Structure 1
Amino acid sequence: MSEHEGTFCLVVHSHLPWLAHHGSWPVGEEWLYQAWAHSYLPVMDLLRRFADEGRRDVLTLGVTPVLAAQLDDPYCLRAFHEWLGHWQLRARQASSLWGHDPLLRELGATEYQRSTKAIEEFETRWRHGFSPILRSFVDNGTVELLGGPLAHPFQPLLDERVRSFALRGGLDDTALRIGRRPEGIWAPECGYEPGMEHGYAAAGVRRFMVDGPSLRGDTSAARTVGSSDVVCFGRDLEVTYRVWSPKAGYPGHAAYRDFHTWDHRVGLKPSRVTGKTVEPADKAPYDPALAADTLGLHVKDFVDTVVTRLRALRARHGRESLVVAAYDTELFGHWWHEGPAWLEGVLRALPEAGVRVTTLRGALEAGHLGAPVDLPASSWGSGKDWRVWDGEQVADMVQANRELQARLLAGRSAGTARDAVRDQAVREAMLALSSDWAFMVTKDSAADYARRRARVHTERFDTLDSLAREGRTERAAELAAEFRAQDDPFGQLDARGLEQD
Structure 2
Amino acid sequence: MNGQYPKKNVLGQLAIVLHAHLPYVRKNERNSLEEDWLFQAILECYIPLLQSIESSKNENPLNTKLTISLSPTLLSLLDNKQIQETFPSWIETRNDFLNELPQKEKNASAFLIKNLNDKYLYWQKCSGNLIEKFRVLSISGNLDILTCAATHGYLPILRENPETVKGQINTAIRSHENIFGIKPLGIWLPECAYYENLDEILFNSGIRYAILDGHGILNSTPRPRYGVYAPICSKKGVAFFGRDSESTLPVWSAKDGFPGDKVYREFHKDLGWELPIFKLQKKGISTKRPLGLKFHKITDENVPLGEKEFYLENEAKKKASEHADAYLLERSKQLEKLTLSSSFKPLLVAPFDAELFGHWWYEGPFFIENILKNSSKYSIKLTNLKEFLLQKPNLQICDPSSSSWGQGGYHNYWINDANAWIVPEITKAGSTFVDLCSKNFNNELSLRLFKQAARELLLSESSDWSFILRAGTTTKLAKERIERHLFRFWKLVEMIKNHSNINLKFLEDIEEEDKVFPDININDWRK
C-alpha distance in 2, partners of 1:309/1:497? 44
Q: How far apart in 1 are the matches of 2:40 and 2:139?
A: 28
Shift in Å, 1:26 = 7.7
Decide which of 466, 482, 493 is 2:520's aligned counterpart: 493
Q: If the length of structure 2 is used for normalisation, what is the TM-score? A: 0.88
Deviation (angstroms), 1:249 = 2.0
In the alignment, the residues of structure 2 paired with residue 316 and residue 374 of structure 1 have an alpha-carbon distance, to the nearest angstrom, of 25
Describe how 1:94-493 pairs up with structure 2 within 5 A.
94=101, 97=102, 99-100=103-104, 104-127=105-128, 129-158=129-158, 159-216=161-218, 218-225=227-234, 227-245=235-253, 247-264=255-272, 265=275, 267=291, 268-366=293-391, 369-412=394-437, 413-415=439-441, 417-418=443-444, 419-472=447-500, 474-475=502-503, 477-493=504-520
- d(CA) in 2 for partners of 1:312, 1:203: 39
C-alpha spacing 1:472/1:76, structure 2 compared with 1 (3 Å): farther
Give the CA deviation at 1:274: 1.4
Q: What is the CA distance between 1:182 and its match in structure 2? A: 0.9
Give the distance between the partners of 1:464 and 1:63, measured in 2 at CA: 30
Which secondary structure does the structure 2 equivalent of 1:7 belong to?
A: strand
1:29 is aligned to 35
Give the letter aligned to residue 124 of structure 2. Answer: E
User: Which residue matches 2:50?
Assistant: 44
> Offset at 1:242?
1.1
Matched, 1:81 2:119: no
Deviates more, 1:150-159 or 1:64-73: 150-159
CA distance in 2 between partners of 1:172 and 1:21 (Å): 24
**How far off its partner does 1:368 sit?**
5.0
**Deviating more after overlay: 381-390 vs 132-141:** 132-141
Moved more, 388-397 or 25-34: 25-34
Q: What is the RMSD of the two structures over their aligned residues, measured on CA atoms?
A: 2.1
- Distance of 1:107 and 1:484 partners within structure 2: 46
Structure 1 counterpart of 2:453, one-letter code: A
> Structure 1 counterpart of 2:496, which letter?
A
Which amino acid letter does the alignment assign opposite residue 294 of structure 2? K
- How much has 1:367 moved relative to structure 2? 5.7
- Cα 1:197–1:64 change in 2 (3 A) is same
Bigger drift between 314-323 and 410-419 goes to: 410-419
Percent of residue pairs bearing the same amino acid type: 24
Counterpart in 1 of 2:224? none
SS at the partner of 1:392?
coil
CA contact (8 A) 1:9 1:59 kept: yes
Judge conservation of contact 2:99–2:106 (CA < 8 Å) in 1.
no
How many angstroms apart in 1 are the aligned matches of 2:255 and 2:157? 28
Give, in angstroms, the shift of residue 87 of structure 1: 2.4
**Whole-angstrom CA distance in 2 between matches of 1:164 and 1:89:** 47
Check conservation: 1:135, 1:179, Cα contact below 8 A: no
Whether the aligned pair in 2 keeps the contact of 1:185 and 1:205 (CA below 8 Å) is yes
Is the CA contact (8 Å cut-off) linking 1:221 and 1:369 kept in structure 2?
no
Aligned counterparts of 2:319 and 2:525: Cα–Cα separation in 1: 52
How many angstroms apart in 1 are the aligned matches of 2:260 and 2:31? 25
Q: Which SS does the other structure have where 2:368 is aligned?
A: helix
Structure with the bigger RCO (C-alpha within 8 Å, sep 6+) is 2
Whether the aligned pair in 2 keeps the contact of 1:22 and 1:28 (CA below 8 Å) is no
Contact 1:27–1:446, Cα closer than 8 Å, also in 2: no
Name the CA shift for 1:478/1:494 in 2 (closer, same or farther; >3 Å). Answer: farther
Letter in 2 for 1:7: Q
Unpaired runs of 5+ residues, structure 1, are: none
Shift of the alpha carbon at 1:456? Answer: 0.7
CA distance in 2, matches of 1:326, 1:92: 38
**Helix, strand or coil for the counterpart of 2:301?**
coil
Which structure 2 residue ranges, 5 or more long, are not aligned? Answer: 1-7, 220-226, 281-290
